[in-house]
Amino acid sequence: MTDIVTFGETMLRLSPPRGDRLERTRTLDVQAGGAESNVAVAASRLGSNAVWLSKLPDSPLGRRVISELQSHGVETDVAWDDSGETRMGTYYLEPGGSPRGTNVIYDRSDAAVTTTTPGELPQDAVRAADVFYTSGITPALSATLAETTATLLETAQEAGTTTAFDLNYRSKLWTPAEAKAGYETLLPNVDVLIGAERDIETCLGKRGEPADVARELADEYDFETVIVTLSEKGSLALHDGKVYEQGVYDADTFDAIGTGDAFVGGFLARRLDGGDVPESLAYGAATASLKRTIDGDLAVVTPEEVEAVVEEETGGISR
């Protein structure tokens, strides 16, 4: 009865007030953030039964993450590490403003999740789900996680669970060459690929018209669906040989972090609910645009809000 299972790292996200700097701040705002739980939260809020798998240190900090994900209806099934050898991953987020970029400082080394083996995770949950989702961040975190990611994708594939994977290349975690090798191990077991145009070029070496790139990838790996995200230019999906294009909904951006994950969560939730690919792209794009107006990694939205954006009945004050 589970719609979607995701697996990956979630960190505590610590950020100073707007206009202040990490170097002198007296307070930090605390939230939970991580690509795979961001997707789970978006999907859960939009009606999917979502489960997040991971490993956390057995501490108040680990529970802080669980607390926030559960608050959005996500079921959590995590291995608790009480060895005292691992940590809670954190990241510091200093909001910028041109010409000062937003500054992200990862402090995720030795996070408990990096030691996760397949045996610590409920593989039956993966088999019972309609969709299994993870991203390219997970295998990049440790050799152990690279293996665990591969195993889970294989498990899902064998059980007939649709697998979705977002390249999510992170240059602070591995080189393009390392990423390429990592991706190539995993992609044969992926059904739905999501990738930023830039990541596809940097790591997989494909460049050209997005539609051509999508076809090339689909041919090479036999994907069911390929989604290429094009930053401000929107996104494009190849499915059953057809190409669908989707623009971006304008947004007053309060916080851009998590926008891509909101897109994926919205897309998958709509697909799981019977939407076709173009409908689901629109749903994903709308979820992403709403996310931009909200503080934090998470798309704290409702289905009604997403639908209103798709139907363009938005803005203004209702009273």
The residues that are catalytic are 261
Q: Is 119 left (phi over 0), alpha (psi -120 to 50) or beta?
A: alpha
Cβ 192 vs Cβ 228: under 8 Å:
no
**Would you count residue 29 as binding its own copies (CB under 8 A)?**
yes
**Would you count residue 152 as binding its own copies (CB under 8 A)?**
no
Q: Find the shortest distance in angstroms from Cβ 126 to its own copies.
A: 21
Q: Which residue has the tokens 């559960």?
A: 70
Among 1, 97, 143, 232, binds its own copies (CB under 8 A): 97
153: burial class by Cβ within 10 Å (0-12, 13-18, 19+)?
Answer: buried
Query: 3-state class of 165 per DSSP?
Result: strand
205 to 234: interface string for its own copies, x by CB under 8 A: ------------------------------
Cβ 162 vs Cβ 194: under 8 Å:
no
Distance CA 153, CA 135 (A): 11
Nearest alpha-carbon partner for 93 in 135, 40, 36, 31: 31
Distance CA 200, CA 31 (A): 30
Q: Site residues for its own copies, window 283-302 (CB under 8 A)?
A: 286, 289-290, 293-296, 300-301
**Would you count residue 125 as binding its own copies (CB under 8 A)?**
no
Q: Find the shortest distance in angstroms from Cβ 50 to its own copies.
A: 13
User: Which part of the chain contacts its own copies (CB under 8 A), choosing from 96-104, 146-154, 189-197, 272-280?
Assistant: 96-104
Q: Site residues for its own copies, window 167-196 (CB under 8 A)?
A: 170-172
Q: Find the shortest distance in angstroms from Cβ 309 to its own copies.
A: 5
Among 41, 50, 88, 141, binds its own copies (CB under 8 A): 88
Q: Find the shortest distance in angstroms from Cβ 29 to its own copies.
A: 6
